[in-house]
Amino acid sequence: MKPILKVQNLSKDFIKSLDLVAKGLNRIGQNYKEEVVHAVDDVNFSIFKGEIVGVVGESGCGKSTLGRMVAGILSPSTGSVEFDSSQANNKEIPSALRTQMIFQDPFSSLNPRKRVVDIITEAPIYHKLIPPSEKRAFATEMLQRVGLDPDTLERYPHQFSGGQRQRVGIARALAVSPEFLVCDESIAALDVSIQAQIINLFVDLKDKFDLTYLFISHDIGVIEHISDRVIVMYLGRIVETAPIETFVKQPNHPYTQALLTGVPRLEVGKRQYEPISGEIPSPLSPPTGCHFHPRCNFATARCKAEKPALRKIAPAHFSACHLNDEA
């Protein structure tokens, strides 16, 4: 089977330019250099049609940067993101619309001066997917798809609750018949009882419209519930990718293991927390070799010196850890 999305050697560097103080000091003979963040560092993976692939990792590890490149709204420094058009459900849709992104804060991504009916129909009318005369009927249908009352057609974004606004954002994305949704912390800002509503909606839509997802979340419970496969990132690199059952039951990478032990779980109840030590290092000066070595209980001299490659350790299971060489 061919993947619908293929990401190869994808990297993004951000240059943190000098602030005024540093520039001033350089003028009097200091030598401050511009710093480079490897936000995403040579990442490779594939996604198959109909999959929900979760991305987890701690703050600053590059999840959003990766998501934005996959959605085509940020250009990579190097590498490529390829979409296999032959597998598209709807071949007439312009390729630029095939991937849509759904953000954490629906408020900042919706134009506050536009009514919902216009927010939803703007792109499809512009791209001539629907005639302007069908605007209201079309918007009504989209609102119903995401579980909103069509009475809300004439409202502005601020007249909705957080959960409803997220539904408007999803309706807008669905309006261009996308194949692929990149969800970046799309439920993080919502109340617990509303999160469940939106998670259920994402799953329903996937089944109804044959969608494929890249689902970014720092919440491992959410990832475990929704994903078929998981990508674990640490400081710009993928350290492990695994089918969900393997991720939960037999995580291979020491970082994934640490992450999973830290997750609070209802069913476990009261327990003694045994934390992994150390801070998340600065992405500006990541540790040498394996980025995780200063916090890893199994680190050896080799881990400090040599970057472990992401290698296949079982079908569909990849991990980047030197320990796998010894076995």
Ligand X SMILES: Nc1ncnc2c1ncn2[C@@H]1O[C@H](COP(=O)(O)OP(=O)(O)OP(=O)(O)O)[C@@H](O)[C@H]1O
State the residues that interact with Mg ion by CB under 5 A. Answer: 64
Q: Which residues contact 74 (CB under 8 A, 6 or more apart)?
A: 12, 65, 68
Does 188 bind other proteins (CB under 8 A)? Our answer is no
Q: What is the DSSP secondary-structure string of 83-131?
A: E-GGG-S-TTS-GGGSEEEE-S-HHHHS-TTS-HHHHHHHHHHHTTSS-
Please, which residue, 18 or 276, has the CB nearer to other proteins? Answer: 276
Separation CA 145–CA 131 (nearest Å):
20
Does 39 bind ligand X (CB under 6 A)? Our answer is yes
Q: Of the two residues 10 and 320, which places its CB atom closer to ligand SF4 in the complex?
A: 320
Closer by beta carbon to other proteins, 25 or else 188:
188
Token pair in block for residue 311? 């290698």
Q: 312 pairs with which residues across the strands?
A: 318
Our CB check for ligand SF4 shows the closer of 131 and 278 to be 278
Least Å distance between CB 101 and Mg ion?
Answer: 12
Query: Rule CB under 8 A: which of 264-283 touch other proteins?
Result: 264-277, 279-280, 282
Contact flags string 291-310 toward ligand SF4, x per CB under 6 A: -xx--x-xx---x----x--
Does the protein bind other proteins through residue 257 (CB under 8 A)? no
Report CA Rg, the chain: 22
Site membership for ligand X, residue 60 (CB under 6 A): yes
State phi, psi for 313 to the nearest 5 degrees: -115, -15
Here the contacts of 85-90 (C-beta below 8 Å, separation 24 or greater) are 87/2, 87/4, 87/49, 87/179, 88/179, 89/177, 89/179, 89/209, 89/210, 90/177, 90/179
Task: By CB under 8 A, tell whether 224 contacts other proteins.
Answer: yes
**Among other proteins, ligand SF4, Mg ion, none, what binds residue 296 when CB lies within 5 to 8 Å by partner kind?**
ligand SF4
The distance of closest approach from Cβ of residue 71 to ligand SF4 in the complex, given in angstroms and rounded to an integer, is 30
Q: Which residues lie near ligand SF4 (CB under 6 A)?
A: 253-254, 290, 292-293, 296, 298-299, 303, 308, 321-323
